[in-house]
Amino acid sequence: MNLKLSQQGEEVRKEAYKIFDKNEKSATEDVEMVKDWLRTQHHLPEMMNDNMILNFLMMNKFSIERTKQKIDMYYTIKDVIPDVYCNPKSPQMKDFMKDVYVCLHPVPAKGLYRVYWYKVKEPNRLSVRKMIMMANNIAEIRLNEDCFYRDIMIVDMDNITLNDILKITPTDISRIISVYEKVFSFCLEACYIVNAPSFTSKVIAICKSLLKPKIFNRIQVQQDTEVLKKLFSDEDLPRDYGGRGPTLQELNDLIMQKFEENGDRFDQLDKLRVDESLRPEKLNNDEILGFHGNFKKLDVD
């Protein structure tokens, strides 16, 4: 099984072109427009490759102006919220991957949606901050190799304890929101919280206070995992959930393999920095983080 942009990924792109009233020619023209703009943005640290630009265009429904904003923020936010980014080769990330499943299914659900899985292997192993780090690292691989359209998140609450839940703060949730709103445009089709115990309501209450209603309404809480059978065929559904597809551990192993293959890129990202002295207009962190303030001053976990 291969996580590189596959035939399924290309089919997703073709379907997305139809939705956005685009084709290969017009999409390529848009990519070139963004590249022309990038050449004038001397504060940004690199010329983004075509596949990444195309993914940002798709995430923003081919709005050139929104795409420019998100690309700028892709580089900028790593200095604003530095502690949700970490090289997957680091010891803490390698150790964390032994405790959790943070993985990506290579087969799109319903032929369109890429599915993320989040599940801790044992009780008292949850770290929301590290979960965000892993999700950001997976997104980096996807930007380079995959097709971004819309995503489905599966959060399996099995092995989550009340103690884990009580450690989650509004700051944890708002970190996730900041990254996925400001960089990835909240391309969320649905979030399914499965095997949910009664105390899941505490997390839902935090989410409701921070998320826009249209995003919050995409969260569905399920006490079992039956909904997964509606997303995947029996052939693709992970064996952990009664299907014949790859196990979560196999999917985790695939992600670890992709991290190794892209090690040079992650090392490069550690060194890329925005030169704020060359920015056309001064950055206002409050505009990025809203009422949540500057996370550099917060000590969480």
> Which pLDDT tens digits describe the chain residue by residue (301 residues)?
555 545 567 788 888 899 999 999 999 999 999 999 999 999 999 999 999 999 999 999 999 999 999 999 999 999 888 988 999 999 999 999 899 999 999 888 888 899 999 999 988 888 888 999 999 999 999 999 888 888 999 999 999 998 888 888 888 888 888 888 889 888 889 999 999 998 898 888 888 888 889 889 999 999 999 999 999 999 999 999 999 999 999 999 999 999 999 999 999 999 999 999 999 887 765 555 543 333 333 333 3
Q: What is the Cα 124 distance to its own chain's centre?
A: 23
pTM higher than the cut 0.85:
yes
Q: What is the pLDDT of residue 4?
A: 54
Extract the tokens encoding 251.
């999917």
**Per-residue pLDDT at 299:** 33
Residue whose pair of structure tokens reads 């207009």 in the numeric block: 281
Q: Could you give the CA distance from residue 229 to residue 167 in angstroms, rounded to a whole number?
A: 31
Which residues is 154 bridged to in the sheet? 117, 192
Instruction: Calculate the dihedral angle through the C-alpha atoms of 162, 163, 165, 171, rounding to the nearest 10 degrees.
Output: 160
* The predicted structure's pLDDT at residue 296: 35
Where in the chain is CATH 3.40.525.10? 86-261
Q: State the Cα–Cα distance between residues 46 and 42, nearest whole angstrom.
A: 9
CA distance 282 to 278: 9
Give me the pLDDT at residue 69, please.
93
Q: How far is CA 199 from CA 73, 167, 221, 223, in A?
A: 35, 13, 12, 12
Q: Using alpha carbons only, give the angle 103, 187, 250 rounded to the nearest 5 degrees.
A: 10
Question: Coil, strand, or helix at residue 24?
Answer: helix
Cβ contacts of residue 57 below 8 Å, gap of 6+? Answer: 27, 30, 31, 34, 64, 67
Q: Hunting for tokens 């892993």 — which residue is that?
A: 134
Q: From CA 295, how far away is CA 299, in angstroms rounded?
A: 8
Half-sphere exposure of 243 (CA within 13 A, CB side): 19
Q: How confident is the model at residue 17, as a pLDDT?
A: 92
How is domain 86-261 classified at the architecture level of CATH?
3-Layer(aba) Sandwich (3.40)
User: What would the two tokens of residue 92 be?
Assistant: 């803490």
User: Cα torsion at 301, 190, 143, 84 (round to 10°)?
Assistant: -10
Packing angle, helices 248-261 and 263-271, rounded to 10: 60
β-strands 188-194, 219-221: how paired?
parallel
Residue 3, both tokens: 């996580």
- Cα gap 53→264, rounded to integer Å: 20
pLDDT confidence of residue 288? 56
Q: State both tokens at 109.
A: 């659900």
